[in-house]
Structure 1
Amino acid sequence: MLGNEHKVCKLIKSLYGLKQAAKQWHQKFDEVVLSSGFHLNQSDKCVYRKFDSSGKGVIICLYVDDMLIFGIDQNQVDKTKKFLSSKFSMKDMGEADIILSIKIKCENKLTVITQSYYTEKILKKFNREDCSPVSTPIDLVKKLKPNTCKPVDQLEYSRAIDCLMYDMTSTRPDIAYAVGRLSKFTSNPSRQHWQAITRVLKYLKGTMNYGLSYIGYR
């Protein structure tokens, strides 16, 4: 504003969309949850747990303003939901089905997480939705060498690696070796590296329903 060029604004309350908003929100959530007896996971600062002497308890996983609440006792889960609803404006979405592009399926004591929908998006994004599937994610016979020429679609290559890494870390550890090798060439990819990326995508095409299974026991 004319005449006020040297003045600054003091932030009284964070607004959604500002850089400070995420930090302010997490700080507020942290204070509320910890004050009610929850403990912060030291390995992941967005995971909170609260268990009683009988072993019953609840775990809260926070991602920005989305929460996944679960436990071995439904009453404890319901109490936690009620407590959080009294502190924040919340909407209960019911039993978790899909969160962060990860599908959750529970049957008896078996929990399966997959990313078939996310994999379809990756294939479509890189125009590989009609590719022919292969049985392995990488060709161990061909040795990947550093590119000595001009990089080929370096930005797009970086995006492909990012997408594959999210798939890998969430539900697909079977592509970890291939993605790890290919990520070494992100700054200067060649056509050979792109061919290797395509092979990983072809492997995902044929194994779209692969995922991780967890068996609960007591």
Structure 2
Amino acid sequence: MERNGVIKLIPRSAVPRQHTPLKSRFVFKVKRDAEGTPTRFKARWVAKGFSQRPGIDFDQTYAPTPAAKTILTVLAVSLQRQHQLHQLDFKSAYLQADLKEELYMELPPHFTDIGDGAQRYAGKVCRLLKPLYGLKQAGRAWAKKLHTFLKTNGWAQSNVDACLFTKLHDDGQRTWIITYVDDLIISGSSERHIRACKQQIKESFEAEDLGPLTWYLGLHLTSPADGVLHIAQTQAINDIVNDYNLAAAASVSTPMRVGIDASSISEQPDRRLPFRNLVGSLLYLGQPHETRLTRSTASPLPMTVTVWLLATVTCCVTAM
């Protein structure tokens, strides 16, 4: 972090009186491929942004992300026009952005216990030079840098979705880009223009070329010879099955029994059931494709929620 210009170690006594160093911690995550197989084990050092003071440590925080309908529309148009779909992944995206605020941060707990840490880092804190993960403004800073770069290089930003960009080339060919934090989709009919786009981005940012689009935001995408784009969420569904112990649940075709008398059900929810977790899991699963299940899950009635919710979770395992 120090070598890459993300932080600068300074004596604690050098921190201006009006600034309070933020706390920090490590977050561990397992990255998986389309089959759910672990591919990387990540340890990310993050700031505890909840302690930031508005107007002093940060100002604006909003960072755009593309609507699910935008992503699906671009995928559908690309398929209809026989475009190629490729993907780039920005490495430690936030750390490639610029931080305008003056911020200081503590070293993570027990960091000085490792190796010669006690001697090297005693009495030191960090001056943040880049928007570390966890800062309230980090996402906005990254989006601003990436979007400014694209617009400067001839990409037109959509008036409908701030994360959709298009470029009309001299030969009449058109290329689309969708940005989603550190993931980027490129759609175009010309392989030459796609290669040029990748090269231009990689000259200014540290990014990995992931090739043809097959795995995006938990979606497994395949486009066989029949001209139909198949989208699967096998891993996400398996996670829900495991989290809520539904592996032995029987498959059903409807969420609940026909003719059930909902008025006889108590309006008080069963506190033993994790209602919010269940609803959130279903809504997240249904984001890419609005269905009868997701519309109902978004606004369940108090009288029917107890029976309906568990039935819907079980049903969605096979229906979605």
TM bucket by the smaller chain?
A: 0.7 to 0.9
The 5 Å alignment of 1:1-218 reads 6-8=17-19, 10-11=102-103, 13-17=129-133, 18-52=135-169, 56-108=173-225, 109-138=227-256, 141-142=259-260, 148-149=267-268, 152-153=271-272, 156-171=274-289, 173-182=291-300, 185=302, 193-208=305-320
> Cα distance 1:30–1:134, how it changes in 2: closer, same or farther (>3 A)?
same
Q: CA deviation at 1:134?
A: 0.8
> Cα distance 1:166–1:133, how it changes in 2: closer, same or farther (>3 A)?
same
SS at match of 2:210: coil
Amino acid across the alignment from 1:84: I
> Cα distance 1:63–1:96, how it changes in 2: closer, same or farther (>3 A)?
same
Comparing both structures, which one devotes a greater share of its residues to helix?
A: 1
Q: Cα RMSD between the aligned structures?
A: 2.9
More moved, 51-60 vs 65-74: 51-60
Q: How many residues align?
A: 201
The 8 Å contact of residues 113 and 171 in structure 1, kept in 2 or not, is answered as: no
- Cα distance in structure 2, aligned partners of 1:21 and 1:34: 20
Amino acid across the alignment from 1:81: K
Tell me which structure has the larger Cα radius of gyration.
Answer: 2
Q: CA deviation at 1:143?
A: 5.9
Amino acid across the alignment from 1:74: E
Comparing both structures, which one devotes a greater share of its residues to strand?
A: 2
1:212 maps to which residue? none
Amino acid across the alignment from 1:152: R
Deviations 1:128-170 (Å, cap 9, x if unpaired)? 122111112355633656964366257x311211111122221
TM-score normalised to the size of structure 1?
0.78
Q: CA deviation at 1:61?
A: 1.7
- Cα distance in structure 2, aligned partners of 1:3 and 1:79: 46
Deviations 1:71-109 (Å, cap 9, x if unpaired)? 222222111111110110011112121111111111233
Identity fraction in percent: 17
> Cα distance 1:150–1:204, how it changes in 2: closer, same or farther (>3 A)?
closer
TM-score normalised to the size of structure 2?
0.55
- Cα distance in structure 1, aligned partners of 2:244 and 2:160: 34
